[in-house]
Structure 1
Amino acid sequence: MFDFLWALSVDQIAILSAGLSAALGTGAVWLGLTERGPSARRARAILDRREDLRRQLRQPKRRDLTVAGVSIAKRVARRMRLLGGAKAKEAQVKLNRAGVRSRDAVPVYLFLKLAAPFAAGALAALLTYGLDLWALSPNGKLLVSAGAVLGGFAAPDLYLKNAADKRRQKMSRALPDALDLLVICTEAGLNLDSALVRVAREIGANSPDLAEELELTAVELGFLADRRQALQNLEARTGIPSVGALVSTLAQAEKYGTPLAQSLRVLAREMRDERLMKAEEKAARLPATLTVPMVVFILPSLFIVLIGPGILRTIDALTNL
């Protein structure tokens, strides 16, 4: 390459430099004309958004079925005066423990508690009396209808109970790790509010339910007058005994100024030991649990393999006699 450059004359080098400069200038002008800046892209996005909004305003408004159903549920619950009593507070606790945060969750739940028995009973009566689907006796039809009514009454509670139990198990498994992170944050000098926010951010991928509860507790600690009430709300929303111990420790540290990191470290160790004991208990209960499947499924096939040939030979010998 260098030998080729040295072999060129002065005129050839000048011509080559002029051509290269012309090519670079043309490329710069072309890029300047075609490349759009951030302001142009933002202006184009604003125009597109304005056109979308104008198109939505011109379209006829249609009421979503979900919104219509929620409004009906709210109207019925308000007419029946179900939103201001102890049942509404109990329903709010159940929904919080199940992880349902919607504003309209309480009236919808109360409406389902009220309407599900009638709907289930009407469906069962239609299938048994109207269509005669199973050809039952009159007493059987009455029993099926009554069972459907009871099932419809208990279905919302069973659903919330199962959802709350699954959520509680997930949070219980992630709680010791969250306590270890909380110990690290408090030892690093963070206050309780900032430590809860940081721990929630770190465990959000592994346990989003616990992260949501910790973030909500941090928000309540910031605007509630009584900080102990925010911690008690955390215990009420989760329903976990370990969280009750954590709330007691945090409330004691807030009230008396005791060292928080050492108490949390001891509490995290106790929770880990408790989780290990539960795992050992399940492992010890496993042989007794496997006894019934082994007797029902494994032993008959084993007896057939071991005793079957002898029985067949005996039958053949007796038939030859």
Structure 2
Amino acid sequence: MTTASGGPTILGVDVFWVATLLAAVAAGAMLVALYAVTTVRNPMSKRVKALNDRREQLKAGITASTSKRRAKLVQKNETTDRIRALLNSLKVLQDDQVKAAQIKLMQAGIRNKDYAVAVIFGRMVAPIVLGGLIIYLVYGTDMVATWSPLKAYGLVAGTLILSYKAPDIYLKNKITKRSDAIRKGLPDALDLLVICAEAGLTVDAAFARVARELGRAYPELGEEFSLTAIELGFLTDRRQAFENLAMRIDLDAVKGVVTTMIQTEKYGTPLASALRVLSAEFRNERMMRAEEKAARLPAIMTVPLILFILPTLFVVILGPAACSISDQLIHR
């Protein structure tokens, strides 16, 4: 079929117009890709600079370098102080809840501990706001008048539960993504630590060098190693720096590395040999995880194969034959 301008059409759509549109989309995607490649930046530079600034502040025994910055920090914390005062007046702010929220924030990569109060405040306010809105829409308006009472109650109860769990779900999602990113780079980091230890570097210098080398490929792991190197430089108890590393990362593998580092510091055992064994174990674990995903691939591909690939294949194979048979029967 052709249009009035003489161009071919498919389902009433001009083929030349569709081809022009697709070419424009492809050209735009190419420009975006070129911009992303040419403007790539080192993800570790800003983080390392902030950590180094914080180290200098801790060494100097101050929390801000200038009065202007100190005033800015005080202004930022006014909202948090008001929320904390409100929660204390309501008797709902407990120290163990604040500490647990702070640990989750650190594991999610959020360094500001004041956000722990905001998380607890969100658990209390979100059900009131969202739950009250849904209760008004369900029982105060005719929006869901055709629903059964059980279905309306399920909507209200589900909204209340989800709004209460929303901050924890958000933090859990960030922790999982960050832990997976750190797990991928941990074997390479241990290999570099072995090389640095055999080269005669100290532990804090080895952590700093590994963070600098792997910061571009694994920015999350580089950030944690940089912070550990900084803490090893100014903390009086070096064991506390390793324990902080295990607390900031929600991974059993990191806890094993921390235990090895603490035992090495305490008993003077060879660091390179212990780290080499751990690196081999983590590498084998990563290979086993990849093999497990590959073994699940045939079962996962079954549904797309049946729904999308096989019907298209049948149309391509049987379509010309069906058209030929239909033309012969019509001509007869």
Taking structure 1 as the reference length, the TM-score comes to 0.70
- The CA distance in 1 between the partners of 2:98 and 2:146, in whole Å, is 40
Taking a change above 3 Å as real, the CA distance of residues 305 and 135 of structure 1, as seen in their structure-2 partners, is farther
TM-fit CA distance, 1:120:
1.4
| Contact kept in structure 1, 2:242 and 2:262, CA below 8 Å | yes
- In the TM superposition, what are the counterparts of 1:65-76 in structure 2 within 5 Å? 69-76=79-86
1:132 to 1:67, Cα distance in 2 relative to 1, 3 A:
farther
- Partner residue, 1:105: 115
Structure with more relative contact order (C-alpha pairs < 8 Å, separation 6 or more)? 2
Q: Does 1:175 align with 2:147?
A: no
Task: State the identity %.
Answer: 47
Gap runs ≥5 in structure 1 = 1-55
Structure 1 partner of 2:161:
150
Match of 2:232 in 1: 221
Is the counterpart of residue 92 in structure 1 residue 108 in structure 2?
no
Note if 1:185 corresponds to 2:196.
yes
CA shift, 1:216, in A, is 2.4
Could you say which residue in structure 2 is the equivalent of 1:198? Answer: 209
Aligned residue in 2 for 1:300? 311
C-alpha distance 301-77 of structure 1, shift in aligned 2 (>3 A) = same
Q: 1:313 to 1:195 in 2, by over 3 A?
A: closer
Rg (Cα) greater in structure: 1
The Cα shift of 1:166 comes to 0.5
CA distance in 1, matches of 2:122, 2:236: 36
Q: 1:123 aligns with which of 111, 121, 133?
A: 133
Q: Is the 8 A contact 1:113 1:153 kept in 2?
A: yes
User: Which AA in structure 2 matches 1:104?
Assistant: D
- 1:267 matched to 2:278: yes
Q: Are the equivalent residues in 2 in contact too, given 1:128–1:136 (CA < 8 A)?
A: no
- The alpha-carbon deviation at position 169 of structure 1 amounts to 0.8
Partner residue, 1:77? 87
What letter corresponds to residue 87 of structure 2 in structure 1? A
Contact 1:76–1:111, Cα closer than 8 Å, also in 2: no
Cα offset, 1:104, TM superposition: 1.1
Gaps of 5+ in 2: 1-67
Count of paired positions? 260
Select the structure that is richer in helix: 1
SS in 2 for 1:290: helix
Q: Per the alignment, do residues 226 and 274 of structure 1 end up closer, same or farther by CA in structure 2, a change over 3 Å counting?
A: same
After TM superposition, give the deviation of residue 180 of structure 1 in Å.
1.9
Q: Which moved more, 1:117-126 or 1:130-139?
A: 130-139
Change (3 A) 1:150 1:135: same
Root-mean-square deviation (CA, aligned residues, Å) is 3.2
Q: Which amino acid aligns with 1:253?
A: T
Letter in 1 for 2:254: V
